[in-house]
Chains A and B, each alone.
Chain A
Amino acid sequence: MRLRGTDVCVVGVGTSEEFGFDLGRSPMRLQAEAFTAALADCGLGRADVDGVATAHGSPTGVDYEEFTAVMGLDCRYVDQAWAHGRWSTGLVAHASLAIMAGLADVVAIVNTVTNGRGYARHLGGLGGHGTVEGLRDTGGGHGEWSVHGVDTPGAATSLVAQRYMERYGASSQDLARIGIGFRENAQLNPMAILRDKPLTQESYLREPVISGPFRRCDYSLANDGATCLVLAAADRAADLRTRPVRVAGAQSIRSNRDGYVLFSRPGLGVGFADETPLRPEHHRVYDMAGVGRDDVDGLYVYDSFSSNVWMTLERFGFCGEGEAPGWIASRGLGVDAALPVNTNGGLLSEGHFGGYNHLVEMMRQLRGECGPRQIEGAEVLQWTTPWGDSLILTR
């Protein structure tokens, strides 16, 4: 295989008509809405799409072959990842490489989530991400240990937050600032599921405690909805009616014993990772994009749980070890902050769409379409997760 020396762009984005807890529409229907909206966004037709990639939604989404069959697509490139929200970087990077390698011209990255209190209750054979993986010899897909009562990603991550808070002296008030900040961002986003549910320090403390330091609003939402991103080579993008956004840089999840899939960071010492001082990492995503961390105009974090934001800020060097709570307290997370974070409201308040909703938001921000939550002059936006993967999109 030989790669063509071409840039790859996001040329179109779309979502289901709504995001919500119970929309009454099947995963296929939601995904078809998002796909159709994304094609309309960039002016392409179904026949132009020759690649489809998906991370099968958790717990219930749509498999690639169902989708191509139902949508009447004829694809020469498909990719499907595990039912987790952790593949957003991978799907975009692999779709970009597929385009560069000539395996496809136009790839639609389509993803749907439906939850057990939404449309998934009508469907059999829920996958779920608790018990089955939790009984792996190595522990669950998020470091959970079902056999010891830590049988959900949230309970496992509450151990991460607990260790962090004891090690660095962070408080419940610090934790609350994350959910509150994203809830405020959500109020400016008409798609955000919790846009009309204000959150304050006082109301945060009234939320029921679920595990460890986590209250309800430290958890991302379980919801229904779909997203679609359309990728194409830069020359193809130039012919389209919308302004494309460059996939400027990528780096994968880093996977090793110290980076098990927990929502922790290396050095914190949770799971079987070593407890050490935070060691600076070299993040090649900046080199590939030709930008520095200080050039980033807005940060998008995989916030399945609130404490992920602490892990990610420190792992990517936006602040030092143990400094994330103070960084958030002094700078804020809103659109007017020095570095806005999750302007869409994040998985905590817009909804949990695997982070693909953050990528949709990044595209819209870079096209200047975000109205009252627009980051002024946004040119460089970064997607990050606690696992160390990242994308940089540029105008």
Chain B
Amino acid sequence: MSRLRRVGEHRGPAPVVHPETEPFWRGLGEGRLQLQRCTTCGTVRFPLGPVCWRCGGFGHDWTDVATTGTVSAAVTVRRATGDPLWAGEVPLVSAQVDMSDGLRLPGRVLCDPDAPPPHGTPVEAAYLATEDGFGVLCFVLRNGSRVEPREGS
């Protein structure tokens, strides 16, 4: 699987990284998108968790997953009404992305906030670096993806 590009620094709230989930965030900080794969049934899972939701197995390893996908839904967040850390970052585009291997993953899309990508827009995973050496998943439009401004977005 291809390495993710570092496309900037993460300025929102820091991810909560604890020993069981550290490989995910560490991997992102090194440009790798890896998730837990159940050693019993092989299911790759998201969100992160200590147990396989499909078979109940506790064993897992970390495996690289697909880094390309298409937008399922993207929104432009214009007002940061929650965490004040986002106040300087809005407007921003955030999305859920259907990855080519079937997982659906969340992340910002670094693009024009007046043109959030519609459903089906091809995107590629990238990462934003945190101060602690971890990474936060995000997406960029894939080569050739052009998005028209969305009315009322």
**B-binding residues in A (CB < 8 A):** 130-131, 134-139, 144-152, 154-155, 158-159, 162-163, 166-167, 172, 205, 208-213, 257, 269-272, 275
The closest CB in chain A to the CB of B136 belongs to: A147
B59: chain A residues within 8 A (beta carbon): none
The answer to whether A271 and B49 touch across the interface, beta carbons within 8 angstroms, is: no
B80: chain A residues within 8 A (beta carbon): 149, 151
- Total B residues in contact with A, Cβ cutoff 8 Å: 43
Q: Which of B10, B49, B79, B107 has the most CB of A within 10 A?
A: B79
The answer to whether A155 and B47 touch across the interface, beta carbons within 8 angstroms, is: no
A163: chain B residues within 8 A (beta carbon): 72-73, 96, 119
The answer to whether A158 and B75 touch across the interface, beta carbons within 8 angstroms, is: yes
Q: Can you add 13 more A-B contacts, CB < 8 Å, to A135-B15, A147-B12, A149-B80?
A: A134-B13, A136-B16, A146-B13, A149-B12, A149-B94, A155-B75, A158-B75, A163-B73, A205-B152, A209-B76, A209-B153, A212-B153, A270-B73
- CB<8 Å pairs between A and B, sample of 20: A130-B82, A134-B83, A137-B16, A137-B21, A137-B48, A148-B108, A148-B138, A149-B12, A149-B86, A149-B94, A149-B108, A155-B82, A159-B73, A159-B95, A209-B153, A210-B77, A210-B78, A211-B78, A212-B77, A257-B53
The answer to whether B119 and A149 touch across the interface, beta carbons within 8 angstroms, is: no
Q: Which of B12, B75, B76, B78 has the most CB of A within 10 A?
A: B75
Which of B15, B53, B77 contacts A150, CB < 8 Å?
Answer: B77
Q: Which 10 pairs from chain A and chain B are nearest by CB?
A: A212-B75, A130-B82, A151-B82, A163-B73, A152-B82, A162-B73, A138-B47, A135-B16, A166-B119, A149-B94
The answer to whether A149 and B47 touch across the interface, beta carbons within 8 angstroms, is: no
A272: chain B residues within 8 A (beta carbon): 46-47, 104
Check if B23 is an interface residue, CB within 8 A of chain A. Answer: no
The answer to whether A172 and B96 touch across the interface, beta carbons within 8 angstroms, is: no
A136: chain B residues within 8 A (beta carbon): 16
The answer to whether A211 and B75 touch across the interface, beta carbons within 8 angstroms, is: yes
Which of A137, A146, A213, A275 contacts B12, CB < 8 Å?
Answer: A146
Fill in one digit per residue for B7-42: 1 if any A CB lies within 8 Å of its CB, else 0. 000101111100001000000000000000000000
Supposing A146-B82, A163-B73, A211-B75 touch, asked if A269 and B104 sit within 8 A by C-beta, the answer is: yes
Fill in one digit per residue for B45-58: 1 if any A CB lies within 8 Å of its CB, else 0. 01111000100000
A167: chain B residues within 8 A (beta carbon): 119
Q: In the complex, A148→B14 CA distance in Å? A: 10
Which of B15, B16, B92 contacts A149, CB < 8 Å?
Answer: B92
The answer to whether A151 and B83 touch across the interface, beta carbons within 8 angstroms, is: yes
Shortest Cβ distance from residue B69 to the other chain A in the assembled complex, whole angstroms: 13
A137: chain B residues within 8 A (beta carbon): 16, 21, 47-49
Shortest Cβ distance from residue A264 to the other chain B in the assembled complex, whole angstroms: 11
B73: chain A residues within 8 A (beta carbon): 159, 162-163, 166, 270
Shortest Cβ distance from residue A201 to the other chain B in the assembled complex, whole angstroms: 13
Q: In the complex, A210→B138 CA distance in Å? A: 21
Q: In the complex, A213→B153 CA distance in Å? A: 6
The closest CB in chain B to the CB of A151 belongs to: B82
Check if B89 is an interface residue, CB within 8 A of chain A. Answer: yes
Fill in one digit per residue for B92-107: 1 if any A CB lies within 8 Å of its CB, else 0. 1011100000001011
The answer to whether A135 and B13 touch across the interface, beta carbons within 8 angstroms, is: yes
Shortest Cβ distance from residue A279 to the other chain B in the assembled complex, whole angstroms: 19
Q: In the complex, A167→B120 CA distance in Å? A: 11
A145: chain B residues within 8 A (beta carbon): 94, 106
The answer to whether A147 and B47 touch across the interface, beta carbons within 8 angstroms, is: no
The answer to whether A130 and B94 touch across the interface, beta carbons within 8 angstroms, is: no
Which of A138, A150, A208, A275 contacts B79, CB < 8 Å?
Answer: A208
The answer to whether A147 and B15 touch across the interface, beta carbons within 8 angstroms, is: yes
The answer to whether B152 and A213 touch across the interface, beta carbons within 8 angstroms, is: yes
